[in-house]
Structure 1
Amino acid sequence: MSDPDDLFEMYRNDRGGAAALKGDALAHAIADNVRRTFATMEKLVAEVVQVLAQARYAIRVGPTVTDRATYVRLDRTSESFRDYLRMWSQQRAEGGGGMHWEAQILVTDHRRASAEIGLGVTIERPVGADGGDVAFVEFWTTGQGMPLPSEGRAFQRALVASIVRLEEAGTLRSAKPKA
């Protein structure tokens, strides 16, 4: 490797090693990124619930999502969502278009007072089987945004910051006594 051009050629080969996804493979990968995004958020939220156990908050990713391109609101657990996602991902694979969703994290305190934390979710276009980030998520209450899954801890910190803001506003109250 004495020739610098060899290094550039190796870099190009490494970057272009995975064939670009097309057609049905791309549509399946896009749909998979949507599913992985929400599964990742659910896992991260469950970890926050465990850490905040003494505060006695019920926290979960809301079941409904909204496609920002059409403003269609769907239940993620329904068969109609699976059908819609199949059509949606096929359209994105064929002609591009926005890949933005709205979602909510629902928080209920020990008194049964509840609040929603709005999320903007942008699904990343798959570039191959590299296992990289699948989405960019923004918390509307704080404006904090982060790629998932690589910035899972930042997602959790933003969730806790949003809950703290809701406590400061008097919307929610922790069951844990203040020290």
Structure 2
Amino acid sequence: MRRTFATMDRLVGEVGQALAQARFSIKLATAVVDRSSYVRLDRTSENFRDYLKLWSHRRAESGSGGMHWEAAITVTDHWRQSAEIGLGVAIEWPNGEGGDLAFVEFWTNGQGMTLPGEERNFQRALVSSIVRLEEAGTVKSAKPRA
């Protein structure tokens, strides 16, 4: 689970670097919500680690299970206008491949992919979501379109 969020952090950072000329600030929010209990946690906190340990222990006893989370990517333009891109993150355990395998869906455009594995698709979906926000006038690029 933590590896999935670390992967998303890295991918969001790479998109942010690629869009530097547009002067967008892009960040995966630290707050996440467990959809089964509606518990909101800071994914960088000790509470989050403890929560995951308890979940893992329960799933080890039952032999199966999954987690479904809500997350958000915040996009801020050079005018300091912000918008959120909602994400659904589902992790099934065990996944049969011996590691974390998450399905991530962008709520703004319905695009979904598995992580790790479809990292480029994640980045394309993020850029597509930002373009949609820009087209709607929610955020504005500092770089005029050609």
**Both proteins in one fold, TM over 0.5:** yes
Q: Is 1:91 equivalent to 2:52 in the alignment?
A: no
Deviation at 1:93, TM superposition (A): 2.3
Flag structure 1 segments of 5+ consecutive residues without an equivalent: 1-33
What residue is the counterpart of 2:77 in the other structure? 109
**Match of 1:105, as an amino acid?**
I
Q: Is 1:143 equivalent to 2:110 in the alignment?
A: yes
Deviation at 1:50, TM superposition (A): 1.0
What residue is the counterpart of 2:93 in the other structure? 125
| More strand per residue | 2
What residue is the counterpart of 1:178 in the other structure? 145
Q: Is 1:51 equivalent to 2:18 in the alignment?
A: yes
| More helix per residue | 1
Count of residue pairs the alignment pairs up: 144
Q: Deviations over 1:108-145 (max 9, x none)?
A: 1111000111000011324354x5x6211000010100
Q: Distance in 1 between matches of 2:54 and 2:117?
A: 28
Tell whether the 8 Å contact from 2:103 to 2:114 is kept in structure 1 after alignment. Answer: yes
TM-score, scaled to structure 1: 0.76
RMSD: 1.4
Q: Give the greater-gyration-radius structure (CA).
A: 1
TM-score, scaled to structure 2: 0.92
What residue is the counterpart of 2:123 in the other structure? 156
